Amino acid sequence: MTKHLFLAAAAVLALAACQPVQQQPQLGPDGNPIPVAYRITPRDQVEIPNRILTEINLLRAQSGLSPVVLSPALAAASTAHARDMAAQNRAWHFGSDGSSPLDRAARFGYTGRLIGENISETYENEIATLSAWMQTRDTRDVIMDPSALEIGIGWLQEPSNKIWWVLNVGG
């Protein structure tokens, strides 16, 4: 009996010693941590549009701008273009069929005025991508346009975890 008790106690101690080791982030040549690829889960797929909407509206409120709402038509145009950019393997504003952002918005039933389209090819989540867009004047101006009323976010994540992001803003 004592032998079994001793073995059980030894097993518990051995398992307790198996705590996960905290690994330090791997650093790149610039000394900054190398980003870990973000994987979009089914839950994220549902939550991403509202997370990006919330963040954009916070940024707009800080500048005294009115909030925007989600547009299903702009989201459909954004998603279609994210898929097309992945198929073309390049982030640019022209579709493989020669379409422009205006063409795609109209094709998906958007009847408002398209203000602009922001695109990205990254391994980062939507908030990091929004942060990068806010650091560049042209893409920030699209998001912060005072006449903006609606947004649509779309993406495609490849098996390699690369994400193609598209944000369309309309007024």
Averaged pLDDT in 10-residue chunks for the chain of 171 residues: 46 44 66 79 96 98 98 98 97 95 98 98 95 97 98 97 97 97
Task: End-to-end CA distance of the chain: give it in Å, rounded.
Answer: 78
pTM above 0.75, yes or no: yes
CB 117 within 8 A of CB 167: yes
pLDDT of 32 reads: 74
Distance (Å, rounded) from C-alpha 100 to C-alpha 122? 22
Closest CA to 67 of 57, 53, 75, 58: 57
Q: Are 86 and 167 in contact (CB under 8 A)?
A: no
pLDDT of the residue at 124: 93
- What is the rounded CA–CA span in Å between residue 94 and residue 82? 11
CA 35 to CA 124: how far, in whole Å? 8
* pLDDT at residue number 29: 79
Phi and psi torsions of 51, nearest 5°: -65, -45
Give every CB contact of residue 160 below 8 A, 6+ residues apart in sequence.
Answer: none
Residue that is written with structure tokens 């504003």 in the block:
93
Question: How confident is the model at residue 30, as a pLDDT?
Answer: 79
